Amino acid sequence: MNVVIRKANEHDFPVVLSLIKEFAVFQKTPAKVTITLEEMIKAKNVFLCLVAEVDKAIVGFATFFFAYYSWAGKGLYLDDLYVTEAFRKQVIGKTLLDTVIDIAKAEQCKKVRWQVSTWNTNAIDFYKKMGAAIDATDINCDFNLKTSIENMA
């Protein structure tokens, strides 16, 4: 199996959006996906995404952005990494993650950070095997600007 990892382009966005929605269902949170294809296209200059292709079909993706951590310095935040079920356990996820890590190294980042759901033991085991430290100390906080503004009105 030949896996190609490459930067996503605007033509890939419909498939990537479909995979984002599939991932949200896997995460048991489909209602949280509010992004539209039009918004992705409008933000294409800041939407950093890699896709994994097998036989020219996109079977996975990784989205990320650069951040600055006050305790560590420049970093890369891996927002989502997803591989369709039929292609899991075939090194595609590892290849995507390795590519993200290589990008972080090339950009002289101090670390790569991401989240994993506490119930997703397969992913936790995978990340531990990759050498990641799993920190159960932090709790995520989201302040949704659109919802907050609507509630204030």
Tens of pLDDT along the chain (153 residues)?
Answer: 899 999 999 999 999 999 999 999 999 999 999 999 999 999 999 999 999 999 999 999 999 999 999 999 999 999 999 999 999 999 999 999 999 999 999 999 999 999 998 899 999 998 999 889 888 887 778 787 866 555 555
Q: Is 127 a catalytic residue?
A: yes
- Residue 135 has a pLDDT of 86
- Sign of torsion over alpha carbons 148, 144, 135, 106: negative
Q: Are 146 and 152 in contact (CB under 8 A)?
A: no
- Residue 56 has a pLDDT of 94
- Residue 153 has a pLDDT of 54
- Residue 105 has a pLDDT of 97
- At position 85, the amino acid (one-letter code) is E
Three-state secondary structure of 87-134: HCCCCHHHHHHHHHHHHHHHCCCCEEEECCCCCCHHHHHHHHHHCCCC
9: tokens are: 């382009």
- Residue 150 has a pLDDT of 59
- Residue 145 has a pLDDT of 80
Which one of the listed residues 69, 77, 82, 127 is annotated catalytic?
A: 127
The closest alpha carbon to 65, from 96, 97, 104, belongs to 104
- Residue 148 has a pLDDT of 56
